[in-house]
Amino acid sequence: MRPGALSGPEKSRAGSASADAPGERRRKKPTVATAVTSTQSAARSPVGTGGLAGRYATALYDLAADRRKLDEVLPQVDMLARLIDETPEFQTVLSDTRLDIRDSRKAVLAVLEKQGFDTLLRDFVGVVADNRRLPRLRQILAAVLAVAAARRGEITAEVVSAEPLTTTQRAQLQGKLAEAGYSRVNLDERVDPQILGGLVVRVGPRLVDTSLQSRLVRLHYAMKGAA
């Protein structure tokens, strides 16, 4: 990947248009930044991968497929998602908007390099950082896995639980999803102690929230209404 390819989509368009002849531009392989810019609208994305996260996810998936690196990149996308889920410090670097974007970018890429992540994935995260989308990185990674599942004819369900699911709970959930018509479904599991208990399950636009936190909020408003 050539130097300077990691500036945001806006800079990528302006820089390449003035420096290269049309024929030369056509011969160049797409970079991560140009792939994100040229990705088709979210309305044509697979179920559950729309919006900004879907555009970034589709760009990474298509670029990895073009370079024949899907077998390397997809497992690392899942690995990075789990790393974020299991590392509160990493979550802080991604989500704290008070941090200088350059410092956040440098810190995140240093972790990825130390952990041995593929260059394509590191460059992709660099573009996400340059475009000030690091707080959405975990959502983007989930969308990448959803895109991959959709291309295989499968659907991804995002599952949030207060504690890691047991094997029995996972089997029960998959059974319930199958009863609802989602026979080929992958679970993208995330632990969030703040929901206190229960589950939050999202499949595409459908959301089922049985968390204790949500029930307490509803109880609070019901009590206020009865007062």
As beta bridge partners, residue 189 has 159
Q: What residues pair up with 187 in beta bridges, in sequence order?
A: 157
The answer to whether residues 8 and 37 touch, using CB atoms and an 8 Å cutoff, is no
Please compute the mean of the pLDDT values over residues 177-194 and round it to a whole number.
Answer: 86
In whole angstroms, give the CA distance from residue 145 to residue 57: 8
Distance CA 189, CA 6 (A): 30
- Percent of the chain having pLDDT more than 70? 78
- Residue ranges and CATH numbers for the domains of the chain are 1-153 (1.10.520.20), 154-227 (3.40.30)
> What is the model's pLDDT at position 6?
43
pLDDT band at 78 (very low <50, low <70, confident <90, very high): very high
d(C-alpha 170, C-alpha 165), whole Å: 6
C-alpha distances out from residue 173 to 81, 178, 201, Å:
21, 9, 10
pLDDT-wise least confident of 6-20, 57-71, 72-86: 6-20
Task: Evaluate if residue 207 carries a pLDDT over 70.
Answer: yes
Q: Which residues of 54-70 are buried (b: 16+ CB within 10 A; e: fewer)?
A: bbbbbbbbbbbeeeebb
Determine the Cα–Cα distance for residues 73 and 65; give it in Å rounded to an integer.
9
pTM beyond 0.75: the answer is: no
- Residue 4: is its pLDDT beyond 50? no
